[in-house]
Amino acid sequence: FNPGKDFGPYALPKAAVVALTKQYALDYGSHGIRSNAINADRIRTALFSEDVLKERAQARGLTPDDYFRNNLLQQEVYDTDVAQGFLNLALAEKTTGSIITIDGGNIAASPRYPASRRWLLAITFAAGKELSRLDGGFSPSLKKGGKN
């Protein structure tokens, strides 16, 4: 989910599901109870009226049909794709505390790192350095003596 202006009533329940999923995994995993969730986005449902859909599409300069294909895969995600995700989680017997996002790669709706962590990760990946060199010991792969 991606919080945005006037998005509280929509974002709050999604955030609560994420938190509760992880909390239940912590609380009940030792009893063999798994807790996972699906985060589906831009699925054609009756949740939004045609007017709301047109408004969202127009805000992005898209037609309503293009709105549903506006993701990295450039494919509309269907309710059957979400159902497949639920089935996959049900069959993943060693998985708990996981949230599977089914949205065709809608990166704009992904949770974001705080600016300081984004900068740290960008530097880390761009320079090929270990996180431990930048933030004092985060990476377990740094060899003894501080040398790679």
* Per-residue pLDDT reduced to its tens digit, 74-132: 999 999 999 999 999 999 999 999 999 999 998 765 654 444 443 444 444 444 434 33
Active site residue 10: yes
**Is pLDDT at 49 greater than 70 in this prediction?**
yes
What does the block give as tokens for 25? 């995994």
What does the block give as tokens for 36? 């996972």
What does the block give as tokens for 146? 């501080």
Model-level pTM? 0.67
Spatial separation of the C-alpha atoms in residues 132 and 2, rounded to whole Å:
29
Spatial separation of the C-alpha atoms in residues 29 and 53, rounded to whole Å:
40
In this prediction, residues 13-22 reach a mean pLDDT of: 91
Residue 63 — φ and ψ, nearest 5°? -80, 160
Token pair 């010991």 is found at 137
